[in-house]
Structure 1
């Protein structure tokens, strides 16, 4: 394990010259690694396929302490804290809204950070975007990498706009459907777990001050998380269906139907599920690339290397930790070789595997109708492990 989260800002790889890196993908992991590498004086180009840099999409996100720890290392904690809603407990409720149990959340980021913070996903993305802009990286939006050609010294890249570039290293941070992963011959693909989730941002009902989860009832899981003083995001998990069979214009009706049978704060939340354009529907997927997360001078981070259902809210945290660990190694003064990239994989894989397997298991218990599953125990063991530095 690392002894410190402080990066050696002035140390570059040996061999002379200023190294250059291409980051493919401007999500959480791509943005984070860009900021950390620029801090060390490395030249970074970041390309993002979406022209709007995903600055407006998504409903909400739950960030636990280990994610907040990385955001603090990025120098963004004050902005994140001011934009989100921090809390330290998790409620378990019956379908009618009766509170069955309130558990103290484990402070995976240490005692000086909140256990959990909810925030609007677009707001987090905008904070990260501003940090990338401020760090001096070159950013090109609406751009993809069409071809990667490697040799012993680096990677030649042809872009979708017809231009070309030459880099010492390429970091694939292009998400679940990563074209970079496929381009370097890694054949692993995300696999659906059998569940899907409806999400929406909504006004915060008075009295909602933490995440509350209901297991069972009309759906497998229903819950909500405060994301600011005025907002929440609400979600309902059900068996996955053919997305093509659900007309986008019917999303609000479908989510309202799925949430209709829940009590407590849900009737007030349901009143605001009216605009299908604000409802998001996605399947739960799992992915864990085994063996290594690199081929030559191309390395994967975040959802390009692994993903899991949001059942313990660790997807973004794992991606941010990837960025931190990879940046630490790249700025350690070591050669950028197979040994370094294998070290990165070995530092990450056991931790990520634990999270992926626990996240999938919680959903599988629901799918299998296991009534005596030790969900609190599994979550507790996983969270205690995450208190250790990555």
Structure 2
């Protein structure tokens, strides 16, 4: 006999456990199905933009995430080719850009997942791990079959929620198409510890030689590092010694204290992914709604993944808790808002890729022209500001084709 729930959530990570916690705290019966037995470092987003922190506050999940790592990064400094380090430091961007938010929240992804999973369980979610062979049936009476400990189970619900990441089983079985732009570079990351010479209060991003680099502190000496690089270097960080080669790439002549990074201890795997944005026309099907990466994801070059997910959790939870009937029409506002949000974020990421993820003297010269022109005309590359404050706070023209061309032709 099938178990009965208000909601069955496939995926117990940030999106799934976050939404499950909010719904269970409001008295809804929730089953969460998670395939892993433990959350591991597979190099995912660990930087929550200020606008994503606002979303966490609005859903009541902020304190849970702070429990995983209570550290906000206060300053951003851009280094790199063509830039004088002292000038960059004098123009450091203070990241307390939104009221009540001290800056981006820097938190380990596995730790954040576990903290939210534990919060969901504490709120009353029936959370099951190690599940496999998930089969979703959409329609007016949606259901899920799954295997756990060698036994097949079935659960029926008012709604099935797909929060199972980029390769979403729910999305595929529901027949929801995922659109992807052409891959334009690769993105690799790794965690290090013992980088004691790096200032805890500074994140940095820039371009040197044939890489774009990112440094995000999480605690004294602990840094999450990322590099983006050209498509023709697909195998740059492959092989048995890839972690050390990745670390050696942080011997950057344009970045003060970079030796503190290159001399740090490897504290996690190095993993690279192709970089592009993706989206769905609508993240819904009869009896099903998607959120987080399952519904489409932004190019990680601007670090929007966790903020996108937290907004999804907020909007979907508000719709569900504000309605007696959980029908397909309920999610029309979510689908509309998300469609435009992801379009704007795609445009912002495309602009940032032009400025920072293209390499060589001509690319450096264009970067410097964009920086110079933006100082006199904030409309140049304005969309890139959305990475911090959110895409809805800027005018629509900031995300137009004309705006993109202005950056490309600077």
**What residue in structure 2 maps to residue 15 of structure 1?**
none
**Would you say the 8 A contact 1:60–1:118 is kept in 2?**
no
Quick one: which of 371, 374, 382 aligns to 1:377? 382
Report how many residues are paired.
365
Q: Given the superposition, is the C-alpha separation of residues 274 and 131 from structure 1 closer, same or farther in structure 2, using an over 3 Å criterion? A: closer
**Deviations, residues 248-296 of structure 1 (Å, cap 9, x unaligned):** 4221243134333444222221122657x53232222310111x21110
**Secondary structure in structure 1 of the residue aligned to 2:196:** coil
Q: Measure the CA separation in 2 of the matches of 1:27 and 1:112.
A: 26
- Farther-moved stretch of structure 1 (205-214 vs 302-311): 205-214
CA RMSD, Structure 1 to Structure 2 (Å):
2.8
**Would you say the 8 A contact 1:97–1:264 is kept in 2?**
no
Does 2:245 align with 1:254? yes
**What residue in structure 2 maps to residue 27 of structure 1?**
13
Q: Measure the CA separation in 1 of the matches of 2:185 and 2:191.
A: 20
Q: TM-score, normalised by structure 1?
A: 0.83
**What residue in structure 1 maps to residue 56 of structure 2?**
71
- Farther-moved stretch of structure 1 (159-168 vs 314-323): 159-168
Quick one: which of 207, 213, 232 aligns to 2:223? 232
**What residue in structure 1 maps to residue 340 of structure 2?**
350
Q: TM-score, normalised by structure 2?
A: 0.80
**Would you say the 8 A contact 1:63–1:117 is kept in 2?**
yes
**Secondary structure in structure 1 of the residue aligned to 2:166:** coil
Q: Given the superposition, is the C-alpha separation of residues 47 and 221 from structure 1 closer, same or farther in structure 2, using an over 3 Å criterion? A: same
**Would you say the 8 A contact 1:285–1:308 is kept in 2?**
yes
**Secondary structure in structure 2 of the residue aligned to 1:321:** helix
Higher normalized contact order (CA 8 Å, seq sep 6+, divided by chain length): 1
**Secondary structure in structure 1 of the residue aligned to 2:249:** helix
Q: Equivalences for 1:177-216 in 2 at 5 Å?
A: 177-191=167-181, 193-203=183-193, 204-206=195-197, 207-215=199-207
**What residue in structure 2 maps to residue 157 of structure 1?**
144
Does 2:223 align with 1:223? no
Q: Measure the CA separation in 2 of the matches of 1:269 and 1:383.
A: 25
**Secondary structure in structure 2 of the residue aligned to 1:316:** helix
Quick one: which of 83, 94, 98 aligns to 2:80? 94
**Would you say the 8 A contact 1:59–1:200 is kept in 2?**
no
**What residue in structure 2 maps to residue 104 of structure 1?**
93
Q: Given the superposition, is the C-alpha separation of residues 254 and 382 from structure 1 closer, same or farther in structure 2, using an over 3 Å criterion? A: closer
Does 2:258 align with 1:272? no
**Would you say the 8 A contact 1:200–1:279 is kept in 2?**
yes
User: Where does structure 2 lack aligned partners over 5 or more consecutive residues?
Assistant: 375-379, 394-410
**What residue in structure 1 maps to residue 349 of structure 2?**
359
Q: Given the superposition, is the C-alpha separation of residues 244 and 218 from structure 1 closer, same or farther in structure 2, using an over 3 Å criterion? A: closer
Q: Given the superposition, is the C-alpha separation of residues 324 and 76 from structure 1 closer, same or farther in structure 2, using an over 3 Å criterion? A: closer
Considering fraction of residues, name the structure with more helix.
2
User: Where does structure 1 lack aligned partners over 5 or more consecutive residues?
Assistant: 1-17
**Deviations, residues 28-81 of structure 1 (Å, cap 9, x unaligned):** 1111111111112111110111221x2554476111222222333444434544
**Secondary structure in structure 1 of the residue aligned to 2:107:** strand
Q: Measure the CA separation in 2 of the matches of 1:189 and 1:250.
A: 35
Question: C-alpha displacement at 1:243, in angstroms?
Answer: 6.1
**Would you say the 8 A contact 1:119–1:226 is kept in 2?**
no
Q: Measure the CA separation in 2 of the matches of 1:242 and 1:219.
A: 10
